[in-house]
Amino acid sequence: MIFTTTRGVLKVGNALELIKDVSDESVKLVLADYPFKVRGGRKKYFEFLKATAQEFCRVLTDDGWLAVINNPSNLFRLAPYLQDLEFRNEVVLVRPHSFHPPGMFGFKHNALWLLSKKKQKLNLPKKMSDVMEYQNGYRGHGGWHPEVIPEWLAQLIVVTTTDEGDVVLDPFLGSGTTAVVAERLGRRWIGFEINPEYAEIAVQRIKAELAKKKQTGLMGR
């Protein structure tokens, strides 16, 4: 399935296959809210982390940004493959409830890493803490996705790293939050999603955002 708007395109399939069609140094922001696991177990997941990191570095512009969201354990495994980028910031994302693996401290947060091709500053709208409380998950348009970041967080990432007209790539689009935010903020976007059911939710959310913008435009005349 392929869904397009005047600003973006959503493709259903494996991100590692689909990203091969993205040109070198053509994307200003890669927003990668990683899945926590893949089929095949931990070894396959580590291979997946390496392969995706290499592709993200390839498609970023020389002033591009990579925003990565994952749990600390997976970020530890990902870090060796990001050494060609500049580490600029970490934000701790605190969830309302803890998960308690056996023999470990309660796991109550994920982390957002912000990295760039060169040393540069984020365009922060105001002074902000690097610890933020958030609730992930999305329910709507007839479906549910348990691990979606909230729109306010996606919007903050997009605003602080891109300008209007820049290209934003979300390789794990899920229910479409990044695409919705990109449409709202006037960014071009590319989204990949392997799950057709989640992709359909994304399509409906994007259509709703476009309808809202159209209505607002008509009302403003």
pLDDT in tens, 34-51: 987 787 888 899 999 999
Confidence of residue 143 (pLDDT cuts 50, 70, 90): low
Mean pLDDT, range 159-164, rounded to an integer: 96
Cα separation, 127 vs 25, whole angstroms: 30
pLDDT at 136: 61
Contact call for residues 25 and 62 (beta carbons, < 8 A) = yes
Which residue type is seen at 156?
L
pLDDT at 175 over 90: no
Cα separation, 27 vs 63, whole angstroms: 9
Cα separation, 177 vs 97, whole angstroms: 22
Mean pLDDT, range 31-36, rounded to an integer: 90
What is this structure's pTM? Answer: 0.90
pLDDT at 28: 98
pLDDT at 220 over 70: no
Helix%, strand%, coil% for the chain, nearest 5: 35, 30, 30
Q: Which residues share a beta bridge with 139?
A: 144
pLDDT at 101: 81
Give all domains of the chain, ordered by start, each with its CATH number: 2-219 (3.40.50.150)
How many C-beta atoms lie closer than 10 Å to residue 10's C-beta? 22
